[in-house]
Amino acid sequence: MGELTYLQAISDGLRCEMRADPRVLCMGEDVGVFGGAFKVTDGFIEEFGPDRVMDTPLAESGIVGTAVGAAVVGLRPVCEMQFADFISCAFDQLVNVAGKMHYRQGLAVPITVRLPSGGGFSGGPFHSQNPEAWFMHAPGIKVVAPSTAHDAKGLLISAIRDPNPVCFLEHKYLYRRIRGEVPEPGYTTPLSARVAREGEDLVVIAYGAMVHAALEATQDIEGARIEVLDLRSLVPLDEAAILESVARCSKVVVVDEANATCAAGAQVAALIAEHAFEDLDGPVVRVASPDVPIPFSPTLEQAVLPGAERIGEACRELLAY
Partner 1 sequence: MATYIAEVRSQFPDAPSEFLTREDRIGLWRAMLLMRGIEQRAMTLYRQGKVPGSFYDGFGQEAVSAGAAFAMGPHDRLCVLHRDLAAHLIRGVAPTRIFGQYMGRAGGITRGRDGNVHFGDYRTGCVGMVSMLPDMMLVATGMAMAFRMRKERRCALTWCGDGSTSRGDWHEAMNWAGVQRLPVIFVLENNQYAYSTPLDKQFAVDPIKRAATYGFPGISIDGNDVEAVFEATRQARERALEGGGPTLIEATTMRMHGHAAHDDMRYVPVELIEQWRRRDPIELQERRLAEIDVDVAAVRAAVEVEIEAGVREALEMPMPDPATATEGVFAEGEAQELGDGAAPWSGFSTPLTALPADASAPAPSPVDDQETHRWAS
CB half-sphere exposure, 214, CA atoms < 13 A: 33
217 and 242 in contact (C-beta within 8 Å)? no
Distance in angstroms (rounded) separating the CA atoms of residues 124 and 290: 15
Nearer to partner 1 by C-beta: 1 or 73? 73
97 touching partner 1, by CB under 8 A: yes
Min dist. Cβ of residue 107 to partner 1 (A): 4
Q: Which amino acid is located at 15 in the chain?
A: R
Identified binder of partner 1 from the candidate list 39, 102, 197, 310, rule CB under 8 A: 102
Identified binder of partner 1 from the candidate list 3, 33, 105, 225, rule CB under 8 A: 105
56 touching partner 1, by CB under 8 A: yes
Nearer to partner 1 by C-beta: 92 or 317? 92
Nearer to partner 1 by C-beta: 75 or 156? 75
Name which of residues 110 to 139 contact partner 1 (CB under 8 A).
110, 139
140 touching partner 1, by CB under 8 A: yes
Task: From 39-47, 65-73, 264-272, 275-283, give the range in contact with partner 1 by CB under 8 A.
Answer: 65-73
Which among 185, 186, 206, 183 is positioned nearest to 194, based on CA atoms? 206
Min dist. Cβ of residue 142 to partner 1 (A): 7
User: For 53, phi and psi rounded to 5 degrees?
Assistant: -130, 80
66 touching partner 1, by CB under 8 A: yes
**Residues 5-44, mask of contacts with partner 1 (x by CB under 8 A):** --------------------x-------------------
Nearer to partner 1 by C-beta: 162 or 170? 162
Name which of residues 174 to 203 contact partner 1 (CB under 8 A).
none
User: For 282, phi and psi rounded to 5 degrees?
Assistant: 175, 170
b vs e for 110-131, b when ≥16 Cβ sit within 10 Å of the residue's Cβ? bbbbbbbbbbbeebeeebbbbb
92 touching partner 1, by CB under 8 A: yes
Strand, helix or coil at 3? strand
Please tell me what DSSP assigns to residue 85: G
b vs e for 30-52, b when ≥16 Cβ sit within 10 Å of the residue's Cβ? ebbeebbbbebbeebbeebeeeb
319 and 287 in contact (C-beta within 8 Å)? no
Angle at 214 between CA 320 and CA 260, to 5 degrees: 85
Q: Which residues are the active-site residues? A: 127
Min dist. Cβ of residue 140 to partner 1 (A): 5
Count of positions on this chain that bind partner 1 (CB under 8 A): 41
User: For 196, phi and psi rounded to 5 degrees?
Assistant: -80, -35
248 touching partner 1, by CB under 8 A: no
232 touching partner 1, by CB under 8 A: no
Site residues (vs partner 1, CB under 8 A): 25, 51-52, 56-57, 59, 61-62, 64-75, 77, 92-93, 96-97, 100-110, 139-140, 142, 163-164
